[in-house]
Every structure is written in C-alpha cells, then in structure tokens.
Amino acid sequence: MQEMSFAVFFMWWSHYALRFISGFKGSERRKRFLSSELTALFICGALQSAVVIPALMLYFPKDMPPVALATTALFMLTRSVNNYMSERARSEAYIGLYTFIQTAGPLFGLVFGLALLFEVSRSPASILGGFAIMQTLSLLIAFRLSDLGRVRPRFDRELLFDAAHFGIPVMMASMLALVAINAPRFVVEHYMGLAAVGAFSVGYGLGLRASSVAVMLVTVGAYPLVVRKMEQEGVEAAYEQMAKNITLVGLVVIPVAFGLLAVNTSVVDLVIPPDYREATYLILPLATIGGLMRYLRAHTTDQVFLVRSRPGFITMISVVDLIFGVLSSYSDCGSAASPEPRSGRSFRARRLSPPASCCRG
C-alpha cells in the first residue's frame, strides 16, 4: 500500500523534478521551482493521508486501533517524502545526501523498531513506529542539508500544470507496474489463503530485489547523466550516454541474476527458514529472471521516452505488462488450486500452502 500510495500521489512530481530540476538555474528560476515544490509536496502529502487513513480503517477494521493507525499513516507519509528526497538528491548528484537518505531511515529504523518490539510492545505498530520516527529524523536532517523549504510555498499554475502534464503518464505507468508486480500476491491469497502468500513472497521478493539492487549500482547516477547531456549537448549526446548506460547495466545485472540462479539451492538452504524452502526453490529462479527483464527495460529503453518527454508510451507498455501479468497469475493459480492438477508444475504450486507452524510467523 505504501509503494502504491507513493506512485499515485508523489510520482508525478518526483519524475518531473528528476527530469527537469537541472534546468532551473539562476536565483529567480530556482526560487520559482522551490516554491512550487513545497506546494506540490503539501498537495501530495495531504491527498495521500486523506486516502490512506480510510483505506487502512477499511482493510484492517479489527486490527487498527488509533495508535497503530496513526503510526502506520506517519510511516507511509515519511517514507514517501524520503523517497522523493532521495530522487531529488540523485538528480542533482548530491551523492552524500542521497546515501544518507537511503540508509539512515531504513537502517536505524530497523534497529529502533526492533528495540520497541522487544522492550515496549510485541506488535506491528512497534516496528512501523521505529521506522516512522527515524524516517522523520532523517527527513529533518535532509531538509537542513538541502535547499528544500528555503522559500515560502506558492501555487505556480503554469509550472504545476507542466509537471502534471509530464508526470501523470509516468505516474500511471509506475502504478500499473506496481500492480503488475504485486498482483500475484493477491491472486495467491485469493486461491490459497493468506499463509500461502508468505511462502510465495519470500522467493518472489528475494528474486526481484536481487535484480533491483544490482541495477541500482549503475542507474542511480546513470539517468541524471543522460538528462544533463540532453540539457547541455542535445539529444545525440544523450543517446550516446544512454548507450553506455545500457552496456553497464547489462554487465552488472546479468552476472548477478545468473549467478543467483547458479547458487539457488545453496542460497535457499542458507538464508530461508525450513518451512519456506520448498516454495522458494521453485519461485526464486523465476522471480530473478522476471526481475532481470523488468529492470533492464525500466532503466534502459523506458528512459528513451522520458528523455524525449513522451511518457505516454511507457504507460502503454505498462498496460500490456499488467494484462499479461494478471492473466498468467490467475491461470497458474487457478489450475494449481483445482482438485486435479493438470501438470507437474501445477501440482508443485499447490504445495505453496505452508504448514500451520508458519502461520504463527
């Protein structure tokens, strides 16, 4: 829900800033951007909170006391703003600030959340509370280290309209991509129950994350370089830089993905609890290959359309991605949940449902 809320409410402005912030040079143009930036963030944050809080109350009607509700909403809001701040920092090549935002909240949030979990309350609110507090602190420090918030907010209709015109198609594409990524989890829950989602998500999340982290080794600085080339030297120089980026991404991601496939059994035996291993043996290789294809496309060819300010094409690609992802998930889970499995793979998929002991986890 947090990833979806960021895509829906913040992504339009985030992608606009990532693409065009380097063009706001000079004191007056910079002030214009900064004042509009604050306005956009207020709008994004207010809309996210207005939608997320009722959604949490509806989705968890019996498990959301007021403290847990407020903690979860604060966690989601501070995470969204931190995500935006990290994108803003990398767009301007502030490497130290980007690294701080990316690591401080998650790392210290985990430590503080575990402390609250064991010392205060054995509840999800403790973990989320630890993250929310540390994300808030890292956000305040990030504000101090950047020029965000140095001018008063102002509703610049022309600039905000341009941002929406560019960012909304990208936001729609990102939202569709997130739905496509997460749809299998909901399909598994529908056919096999909530416990099976845990068994499925271990290998699925690990495979996607391995490819994602490998891609980030290159792409954190790659796209801002393309934008800078576009602004300073024109489209041909941007394409030349993009070609170099694609080569680097391939050289980094492909060995990581296939290396993980080669040691799949050893990795699962080493880091996965016994109750989840059987499902992970099957799912991890497929998720790794799927993540490899997805992130190669997202960080190479999709960027052509971003640089040329044609984000509508990315939206169309994401629609196709979503349709095939959802249909294939329903087809596979539907056959797996049938009384008589139609193939060996369907029979193995039926065994995703874990033993009762994992439900306690």
pLDDT score at 44: 92
CB 12, CB 167: distance < 8 Å: yes
Q: Which of 75-79, 122-126, 342-346 has the highest mean pLDDT?
A: 75-79
pLDDT class of 245 with cuts at 50, 70, 90: confident
Span 60-94, pLDDT tens digits: 777 778 888 888 899 999 999 999 998 888 888 78
Span 249-294, pLDDT tens digits: 778 777 877 787 777 778 788 777 787 788 788 888 888 888 878 8
Span 4-59, pLDDT tens digits: 888 888 988 888 888 788 778 777 888 888 888 989 999 999 999 999 999 888 88
Please report which helix (H) or strand (E) contains residue 170, including its range. helix 157-192
Average pLDDT, stretch 164-185? Answer: 82
Whole-angstrom CA distances from 155 to 10, 254, 319 are 17, 45, 33
Average pLDDT, stretch 130-150? Answer: 89
279: tokens are: 């499902």
Q: Is the pTM of this model over 0.75?
A: no
pLDDT score at 359: 37
Average pLDDT, stretch 136-152? Answer: 87
User: Domain-by-domain residue ranges, the chain?
Assistant: 1-155, 167-361
Q: Is the pLDDT of residue 148 over 60?
A: yes
234: tokens are: 């024109």
CB 112, CB 97: distance < 8 Å: no
Distance CA 159, CA 148 (A): 17
